[in-house]
Amino acid sequence: MTDNEHETGQPERRTPPRVIGTPLSDPLTGSLPEPLPGAETAGDDHDGDPAVPRAVPQDERKARKAEKIAALCFMLTFAALVAFLVAYVRFQVGGLSATGASHIALGGALTLALLALASGIVIWVRQIMPKYEMVQQRHPMASSADVRAEIAATFVSGAAESGIVKRRLLRRTLLLAAAPLGLAPLVLLRDLDSTGAPVAQLHKRLAHTVWGEKAKEGKPLRLVVEGTGQPIRAADFNSPGGILSVVPEGYEHDLNVLAKATVILIKFRPEEFKPGTNLNWTHDGIVAYSKICTHVGCPAALYEQTTHHILCPCHQSTFDAADGAKVVFGPAARPLPQLPIGVDEQGYLIALGDFPTPVGPSYWERGDAEARVRENGGHS
């Protein structure tokens, strides 16, 4: 082989007819074979464009081989579906491992059955059915001018027959009658809110939690550990840097209460506090903040002891627990409200009142509650 081959040999064999890597959209590079009768009867629209290749019958030997492969695929599907039925009966479910075995057996058999069936059909289409392309003509989507004119005439005469244009009273009373029809379903949706409170008062419910309601009744709630329900003796919660997730006693399983009243309790050394924290509301270096993030309400559950940062794992809002839980970083715009706490006669931690500001995500009627508190001298 020399570089001379091009001059003497057959250049067409070494000259690629297409850009390397481009798709073979035209399966025919040879002469056009005789079309199948089926392709010729291809609809009325066939325009016999000579540029479009006609049917290519598959080589019978190859087709016979493909038939065997496709049949094998179908047999495989059959076997896999039998296996599916057997697995359904054989494998019982219950614990983790039993369910796992049943799951893999059923799923594996189903996957195999579907895969084999699909493969069989594809082999059938590609290697047994003749390959050809057909052409159909498109027509503009728009109807002809005649048709449009006829429709317009019919529309006008129909409207005239009905008298809706001429009889103004009829038309206007009909519109009047129809207008409230749209309102009826809206009214029906009013009871979607099952609190029964007047609409204008709804937002007031958002501003208070069970801590404050009970404190006001003179029965302040104890703080209990989330999960165990143990009340917390202030003297026992004494290692600085400690953190507890805390809920109101008696409401440990009330999700509606927990969604607002869950609190994190952090023990500080007194010198660690910064001015943002209201020291009157702490007890012996223990401070309580709402756990419900002021961004969109996830529980701000992570605490970094060395930096005193509370982190919400949902959107990474970061609050400085030593400084009134003010926002250090992230999308939350407001500090976590601080809960005023103290101890009862037995030394257990209790809530002395409500959070000064509404907990959780902001809402339209919230207003600048922090400024309101400042104006009122620290009380809500």
Partner 1 sequence: MSDLRAVPKRIAGPATFLDERLGAGSFVKRNMRKIFPDHWSFLLGEIALYSFVILLLTGTFLTFWFKPSMGEIVYNGPYAPLKGVTMSEAYASSLKISFEVRGGLLIRQIHHWAALVFIGGMMAHALRVFFTGAYRKPRELNWLIGVVILSIALFEGLTGYSLPDDLLSGAGLRVTQGVVIGLPVVGTYLNFFLFGGEYPGEDVISRFYSIHILLLPGLILALVTAHLILMWVQKHTQFPGKGRTNRNVVGAPFYPAFMAKSGAFFLFTFAVIAGLGTFAQINPIWLYGPYSPADVSAGSQPDFYMAFLEGALRIMPAWEINLFGTAEAGTIPLSVVIPALVPLGLIVVGMALYPFIERWITGDNREHHLADRPRNNPHRTSIGMAVIAFYGVLWLFGGNDLISANFQVDLYTTTWAGRILVFAAPALAYAITYRICLGLQRSDAAVLSHGVESGVIKRLPNGGYVEVHSPPAEDIEAHLRGREAIPVLADGGDVPPKGLRGPIGRLRLRMSKAYGGEKIPIANGHPHDGDEHPDMLPDGQNRALTR
Check binding of 327 to partner 1 (CB under 8 A).
yes
Which residues make beta-bridge pairs with 304? 309
Best CA proximity match to 310, nearest among 147, 180, 299, 1: 299
Check binding of 308 to partner 1 (CB under 8 A).
no
CB of 327 to partner 1, least distance (A): 6
Q: Which range touches partner 1 (CB under 8 A), out of 122-130, 144-152, 164-172, 271-279? A: 122-130
Which residues in the 66-105 window bind partner 1 by CB under 8 A?
A: 88, 91-96, 99, 102-104
Nearer to partner 1, 256 or 346 (CB): 256
Check binding of 173 to partner 1 (CB under 8 A).
no
Q: Which range touches partner 1 (CB under 8 A), out of 148-156, 162-170, 188-196, 347-355? A: 188-196
Considering only residues 40, 133, 284, 323, which one is a binding residue for partner 1 as defined by CB under 8 A?
133
Measured between alpha carbons, how far is 329 from 370 in angstroms, rounded to an integer?
A: 19
Check binding of 118 to partner 1 (CB under 8 A).
yes
Residue 154: in which H helix or E strand, if any? helix 145-162
Check binding of 188 to partner 1 (CB under 8 A).
no
Check binding of 216 to partner 1 (CB under 8 A).
no
Residue 290: in which H helix or E strand, if any? strand 286-290
Considering only residues 75, 329, 344, 347, which one is a binding residue for partner 1 as defined by CB under 8 A?
329
Contact 317, 272 (CB under 8 A): no
Considering only residues 220, 337, 353, 360, which one is a binding residue for partner 1 as defined by CB under 8 A?
360
Contacts of 55 (CB under 8 A, 6+ apart): 33, 35, 36, 38, 39, 130, 131, 132
Torsion on CA atoms 281, 285, 288, 289, rounded to nearest 10: 100
Considering only residues 317, 348, 355, 359, which one is a binding residue for partner 1 as defined by CB under 8 A?
317
Using alpha carbons only, what angle is made at residue 277 by residues 275 and 282, rounded to the nearest 5 degrees? 130
